[in-house]
Amino acid sequence: MTSLASDRIVRRFRIASSALGIATSILAAAVLLGWTLDISFLKSIYAGFPTMKANSAVALLIGGAALFVYHRMTEGAWVRSLLDVVAAVFGLLGILTLAQYAFGVSLGIDQLLFRDSVTAPWTSDPGRMAPMTAVILALSAVAMAFSSPKRSPAMGQTAAFVSVFASVLTILGYVYGVQVLRGPEAFTQMALPTALTTLIFALGLLFMVPDRGPFGVLSTDTIGGMMARRLLPMAVIVPVLVGWLRLLGQERQLYDVEFGIALFALTNVIIFVFIIWWNARSLHRVSVSRREAESEMRRFKFISDHAGDAHFLVDRHQKLHYVNRVAVDELGYTREELLELSASALMADPKLATGRMRRFIEMADLEQTPPFEWRLRRKDGYTFPVNVSVSRVSFDGEPYLYVVAHDISALKAVQEKLEDQNRLLEAINRVNTTLAGELDLDKLVQTVTDAGTEITGAQFGAFFYNVIDEKGEAYMLYTLSGAPREAFESMPMPRITEIFQPTFAGEGITRISDVTQDPRFGKNPPYNGLPEGHLPVRSYLSSSVVSREDEVIGGLFFGHEEPNIFDERSEALIAGIADQAAIAIENARLFTAAHSELAERKRVEEELRELNETLEQRVHDRTAELERINRQLKAEITDRSRAERALERTNRALSQSNRELQDFAYAASHDLQEPLRKISSFSDLLISDYADRLDDAGQEYVERMQDAALRMSRLIRDLLAFSRVKTRAKPFEQVDLNEIVTEVLEDLLVAIEESGGQVDVGHLPGLDADPTQMRQLFQNLISNGLKFHRHGISPQISVSAELVDRNGETTCRIEISDNGIGFESKYLDRIFSPFQRLHAKSAYPGTGIGLAICRRIVERHNGEITAESDPGNGSTFIVTLPCSQENEEVEEATSEQPVDA
């Protein structure tokens, strides 16, 4: 029954019921006013009719008001209690009155408010209500007490209906003038105002709970309900009205009793036939449209059930009126369970949902909400996200909400994954931006560690620089994230264990779901596992940070105390971070290097700038100085050319005087030979022809004269030879020195033998030279070696030569060594000058010209002569001559004649 009741009709019945309640109170109040002002119309309508008693009027005044209050006030315990109190008053009043009639007593309840006249018409006891009124009050009490959904609406309605029947019966008594219907004559008769008021009140009570009890059918939308609503009032009103008209006609003697009955029956038949036909017609229409609506409904249900979304029809009290199959499937309730539930029971957050629905209902101008998100709660408590759109619909003037909910769990999951991904990308991007802009190495490494920890969802992370000590083991803790530095500081320096090793070896990513289960774990003494106080690690993820040049910069390490935290995605992310970190670290290093280079360059530039600034001044100074030097130079050049000219003049004078000197030397030596020869030959004659005439002294004088002449002759010969080096020079030709030396040795044979000496000659080369002068050269040097021997030691002489490169020119270096007396090296220069001798003439005969001739010959051959010696240790004369010569102009002596020594 419940579900069939139409809210609209129920509401109308409730309104009607409360209106009847208030009407009851108004009528009762009017009667009481009649009593107060003694207006008999208000008390009995017709004077002579029985009056409505004051106590029943008071009761009905209260009852009507209670009924009104009951409908107007939202149902609460106090309203129900109020009705119960009123019902008790009604019951008590009715029963006590009946008791007074039954036992013929007066309990003083009849004239509590107003005194009634003893001569009041149709009144057995002044102020006492009719027994029928008392019965109706008692029945009303029952109706009020039971008309509640939780009590017995059927009982309440039955009592109310009987009251209606009793009231109508009394009214008919008055209408048709049937005295017996108004009650037994011995007792007070029920007044017409009383019957009207109780009828109205009883009707109000009949519809107190319109959707329940036997009369609930009237509130339904069914055909039965419609028929009952239309026919029931007609069935009461028509016969009463027609009966009254018939009686009226009969009283006016328009027709007799039989005709009256026939007329009554006929009128009833006609009216009811019409009413039933009219009713049937409209019911037929309803039926047809309902059938259409039903097939429409079936179609709708089919579509709705097969829609992908859950559909709900909710009234403004959040009661569910319709749910589709999807809703049933998704929520895990049966359809029946759902229709018993309040919509808020399906919401994950009922408060929010209710507030939203209420707001939407209040926004009268909006037909449909834009889609928004909610979470629905399944029967098992699991909640899931839905996209909801709510449309306002109206059925039979009642507003409803049609809610379409689309399960977006899958979408949400994807979305969350995307958002997750996005968040990560953002984080990576943020890291990259920071890394790209960060050149402070410390900060950079900290950023990398923090980012890695955040992105992988690790509890803590660390970056270790790959620093290896001299033992090749330890490395340095650098930065930390997610854990305070103190968490590591109490621990000894971490070492490269089997687990860490691949990271520091640059092998990339290491991921371990549970370190404590890893076979490599706990292999390294002394701890064999995590040192005491170490952060708890089970999930482990690490990555090498490797530079572009494959240098392992360090390692990134992440940990979590729960196992299985890191997945492939974490690996990919951390690999990306490690790459970025490597690049950034390299950049930072490069930057530092570049920075210092830049600083250096800046310094140089600064210096250059300063230099530039002074340059102008310096150029100016320098130009001035150059000009000064130039002037000086010019002066010097003038001086020098003057000097050169002077030199030239001197040179010319010198060679002139040289030539003159040579001529003189030649002439002198040549011309001196003649007188000398004469001295020599005359002294010989003196000795041979006049020896006997000369005494010893004379003879000695002649001999000394001869000696002097001989010495003079040698001197002249040598001087001549010296001057002939230039004057008798022959052109250069290829000369074999071996041959020359052999000839010289042959010439010196006697001297060698006399001295008992020995001359060793090595292989000597050939060269361009004047052969006569070469002979002279070797003759002089070898004979000196033989002459200046030490006393008692036979001379040992060696002649050797080698080719030597002198400034790209091949020269012949000739050495003539002896083991003779030697000389002090300070006299080296002196011995090559003419007439210079180091030893006494008596000890070693000689003129002192020999070495001077040698130097002249060597110089003519563009060579050099020198000597190395130590007194008592022999001497070595070194002659260096070019191997090839260009022939020169041989200086011709102006007046040389052949001279014989």
Residues that bind ligand ADP (CB under 6 A): 784-785, 788, 818, 820-823, 831, 837-839, 846-852, 875
Peptide bond into 519 cis (omega under 30): no
Cβ proximity to ligand ADP: between 457 and 846 the closer is 846
Residue with Cβ nearer ligand ADP (766 or 846) = 846
- The single-letter code of the amino acid at 525 is P
Of 195 and 721, which has the nearer Cβ to ligand ADP? 721
Q: Which alpha helices (H) appear in 38-152, and where do they start and end?
A: 40-44, 54-72, 77-103, 131-146
CB of 879 to ligand ADP, least distance (A): 13
The verdict on whether omega for the bond into residue 526 sits within 30 degrees of 0, i.e. cis, is: yes
What minimum distance in Å lies between the beta carbon of 726 and ligand ADP?
Answer: 18
Q: Which of 442, 408, 206 is nearest to 308 (CA)?
A: 408
Compare residues 196 and 852 and give the one whose CB is closer to ligand ADP: 852
Query: Using CB atoms, what's the residue nearest to ligand ADP?
Result: 846
Q: Determine the Cα angle at 359 with ends 358 and 363, to 5°.
A: 115
Nearest CB to ligand ADP, comparing residues 475 and 832: 832
CB of 838 to ligand ADP, least distance (A): 3
- The SS3 of residue 23 is helix
Q: What are phi and psi of 749, to 5 degrees?
A: -50, -45
Identify which of residues 733 and 824 has a Cβ nearer to ligand ADP in the complex: 824
Nearer to ligand ADP, 234 or 838 (CB): 838
Cα separation of 719 and 655, whole Å?
Answer: 19
Instruction: Give the tokens for residue 731.
Output: 């052109």
Distance CA 12, CA 617 (A): 117
Sequence-distant (≥ 6) Cβ neighbours of residue 360 within 8 angstroms: 366, 369, 390, 392, 401
> How near is the Cβ of 781 to ligand ADP at its closest, in Å?
8
Structure tokens at 540: 């482990």
Q: Which candidate, 163, 284, 271, 268, places its Cα nearest to that of 227?
A: 284
Query: Which residues are registered as beta bridge partners of 368?
Result: 391
Q: How far is the CB of 874 from ligand ADP (least distance, A)?
A: 8
Name the 3-class secondary structure at 738: helix
Least separation in angstroms between residue 711's CB and ligand ADP is 11
Residue 491 near residue 460 (C-beta atoms within 8 A): no
**Three-state secondary structure readout of 307-332:** CCCEEEEEECCCEEEEECHHHHHHHC
Q: CA–CA distance from 786 to each of 662, 745, 857 (Å)?
A: 31, 11, 21
Nearer to ligand ADP, 412 or 839 (CB): 839
The smaller minimum CB distance to ligand ADP, of residues 156 and 850, is found at: 850
Nearest to ligand ADP of 438, 718 (CB atom): 718
Q: How far is the CB of 750 from ligand ADP (least distance, A)?
A: 17
CA dist., res. 600 & res. 593, Å (int) = 11
Environment class of 222 (CB within 10 Å of its CB; exposed 0-12, middle 13-18, buried 19+): middle
Find all residues with CB under 8 Å of 488, minimum gap 6, and list them: 462, 477, 480, 535
The backbone region for 769, taken as left when phi is positive above 0, alpha when psi lies in -120 to 50, beta otherwise, is beta
- Closest to ligand ADP by CB, 185 or 870: 870
For residues 272 and 844, which CB has a smaller minimum distance to ligand ADP in the complex? 844
Please identify, using beta-carbon distances, which residue of 91 and 850 lies nearer to ligand ADP: 850
Minimum gap (Å) between residue 827 Cβ and ligand ADP: 8
Quote the least distance from Cβ 846 to ligand ADP, whole Å: 2
- Is the CB of 161 or the CB of 788 nearer to ligand ADP? 788
Shortest gap between Cβ of 844 and ligand ADP (angstroms)?
6
Please state, in angstroms and rounded to a whole number, the distance separating the CA atoms of residues 877 and 777.
Answer: 11
Shortest distance, position 821 Cβ to ligand ADP, whole Å: 5
Q: How far apart are CA 216 and CA 73, in angstroms?
A: 21
Rounded Cα gap, residues 703 and 683, in angstroms: 8
Nearest distance from residue 841's CB to ligand ADP, in Å? 8
3-state secondary structure of 715: helix
Least distance (Å) between residue 757 CB and ligand ADP: 12
Q: How far is the CB of 850 from ligand ADP (least distance, A)?
A: 3
Give 687 or 838: the residue with its C-beta nearer to ligand ADP.
Answer: 838
Measured N-to-C along each axis, helices 441-456 and 409-437 cross at an angle, to the nearest 10 degrees, of 170
H or E element that contains 393: strand 383-395
Query: What does R_g of the chain's alpha carbons equal in angstroms?
Result: 79
**Collapsed DSSP state (helix, strand, coil) of residue 525:** coil
CA distance linking residue 740 with residue 103, whole number of Å: 203
Strand partners, 881: 812
Nearest-angstrom CA–CA distance, 191 and 55: 13
For residue 683, count CB atoms less than 10 angstroms from its CB and return exposed for 0-12, middle for 13-18, buried for 19 or more.
Answer: buried
- Shorter beta-carbon distance to ligand ADP: residue 255 or 844: 844
Compare residues 90 and 832 and give the one whose CB is closer to ligand ADP. Answer: 832
Minimal distance, residue 891 CB to ligand ADP, in Å: 23
Cα separation values, 417 from 118, 408, 423, Å:
95, 14, 10
Residue 692 CB, nearest distance to ligand ADP (Å)? 37
Shortest separation between residue 806's beta carbon and ligand ADP, angstroms: 25
How far apart CA 788 and CA 821 sit, in angstroms, is 6
Nearest partner of 865 among 852, 853, 878, judged by Cα? 878
Compare residues 61 and 849 and give the one whose CB is closer to ligand ADP: 849
Task: Provide, rounded to whole angstroms, the least separation between the CB of residue 644 and ligand ADP.
Answer: 36
Work out the angle between the directed axes of helices 153-175 and 131-146 (0-180°, nearest 10).
150
